[in-house]
C-alpha cells in the first residue's frame, strides 16, 4: 500500500523547490539549482498528494500554494526591483524580471503540472500558466503600467529630439504589453492612444513654432522630413496600424490645422511658380483639399 503524504509533510518537501525556484528571479539558471532527480521528487510529491483518497486529497491546497508562491516571488523580488527605477532603466529591468519570471514559472509548472490534469479542468479555474500571467498582471501591471507606458513614450520623445536609445528595448516593451494582456486587457491599445495624443501635442507645438520663423516653402519641406523620420523611427517598434495612425496625426497637426495660415503665408511671400497644393504633393505626398481635410479631421476626432 502506498504511503500517504500528509499536507504538512508535502508542503515541506515542496517548499525546498519553491525557495530554490525564486532564485531564478535574481538570475540563477535552473540548471544550477535543480537536477533531474529534484524535478521528479517534487512532481511525484504533487502527484501523490493529488491522487490520494479523501480526506488526504490535497489538490486545492496545492493549487493555492502554487498561486501563493507566485505572489510571494513578485512581492518580495519583482516589485522592490522595479519600484525605485525610472525611464529606460525601469523598462530594462521590467523585461529582465519578466523573462526571469517566465523561466521560474516554467520550473514551478514542472513541479505542479499534475494539477492542470487533475484539478484545473474539474474546478474550472485558470490553468497554471494562465494563473502565472494573472498574478503578474494583478500585482505588477495594475500598479506600475502607467510608469511603463510613460517611460516608453518618454523614450519616443527623446529620440525625436535627437537622443539615441536601443529601439529593440522599446519594441520588446510593446511586445510585453501585448503578451501580458492576452486578450483580457489591451495594454498596447492604451499605450497607442496615449502615444498618439502625445504626438499630436508635440507636433501642434512644433507647427506653431515653425510658422513663426520658417518660410512657406521651408515649412512644407520640413513637414516632409518629419514624416520620413517618423516613418523610419516608429516603423521599427510600432505595429503597422499604429504607424499609419501616427503619420495621419503628424500630417493633420502640421498641415491640416495650419492649411489656411500656410496659404496666407504663400500669398504673402508671392510664390507664383508652385501652388500650395503642388508643394504639398511634392514634399509631403498629401493633399489638403476639402476631402482629405475632412478625412483627417474624422481621424483626429476619434482620438479626442
Select from 67, 196, 47 the least CA-distant residue to 134: 67
Q: What is the pLDDT of residue 299?
A: 40
Cell of 181: 494582456
- For residues 254 and 160, what is the distance between their CA atoms, to the nearest angstrom? 15
Span 74-129, pLDDT tens digits = 999 999 999 989 999 999 999 999 999 999 999 999 999 999 998 998 889 999 99
**Distance between CA atoms of residues 200 and 188, nearest Å:** 18
Domains of the chain, earliest start first: 7-185 (1.20.1310.10), 194-303 (no CATH)
pLDDT given for residue 281 in this prediction: 61
Q: Enter the pTM of the model.
A: 0.86
- Could you give the count of Cα atoms lying within 13 Å of 206 in the half-sphere of its Cβ? 21
Convert the pLDDT of each residue in 148-201 to its tens digit. 999 999 999 998 888 877 779 999 999 999 999 876 678 999 999 999 999 999
Amino acid at each position: 500500500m502506498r504511503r500517504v503524504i500528509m499536507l504538512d509533510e508535502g508542503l515541506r518537501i515542496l517548499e525546498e523547490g519553491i525557495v530554490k525556484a525564486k532564485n531564478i528571479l535574481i538570475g540563477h539558471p535552473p540548471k544550477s539549482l535543480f537536477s533531474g532527480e529534484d524535478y521528479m521528487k517534487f512532481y511525484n510529491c504533487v502527484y501523490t498528494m493529488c491522487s490520494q483518497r479523501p480526506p488526504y486529497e490535497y489538490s486545492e491546497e496545492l493549487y493555492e500554494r502554487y498561486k501563493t508562491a507566485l505572489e510571494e516571488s513578485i512581492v518580495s523580488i519583482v516589485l522592490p526591483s522595479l519600484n525605485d527605477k525610472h525611464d529606460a532603466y525601469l523598462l530594462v529591468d521590467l523585461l529582465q524580471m519578466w523573462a526571469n519570471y517566465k523561466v521560474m514559472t516554467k520550473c514551478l509548472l514542472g513541479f505542479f503540472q499534475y494539477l492542470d490534469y487533475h484539478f484545473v479542468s474539474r474546478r474550472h479555474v485558470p490553468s497554471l500558466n494562465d494563473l502565472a500571467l494573472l498574478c503578474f498582471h494583478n500585482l505588477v501591471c495594475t500598479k506600475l503600467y502607467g510608469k511603463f507606458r510613460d517611460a516608453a513614450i518618454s523614450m519616443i520623445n527623446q529620440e525625436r529630439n535627437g537622443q539615441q536609445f536601443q529601439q529593440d528595448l522599446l519594441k520588446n516593451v510593446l511586445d510585453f504589453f501585448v503578451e501580458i494582456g492576452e486578450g483580457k486587457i489591451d495594454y498596447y491599445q492604451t499605450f497607442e492612444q496615449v502615444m498618439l495624443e502625445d504626438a499630436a501635442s508635440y507636433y501642434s507645438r512644433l507647427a506653431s513654432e515653425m510658422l513663426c520663423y520658417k518660410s512657406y516653402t521651408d515649412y512644407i519641406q520640413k513637414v516632409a522630413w518629419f514624416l520620413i523620420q517618423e516613418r523610419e523611427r516608429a516603423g521599427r517598434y510600432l505595429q503597422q496600424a499604429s504607424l499609419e495612425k501616427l503619420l495621419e496625426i503628424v500630417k493633420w497637426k502640421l498641415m491640416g490645422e495650419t492649411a489656411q495660415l500656410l496659404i496666407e503665408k504663400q500669398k504673402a511671400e508671392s510664390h507664383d511658380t508652385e501652388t500650395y497644393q503642388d508643394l504639398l504633393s511634392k514634399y509631403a505626398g498629401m493633399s489638403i483639399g476639402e476631402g482629405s481635410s475632412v478625412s483627417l479631421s474624422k481621424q483626429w476626432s476619434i482620438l479626442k
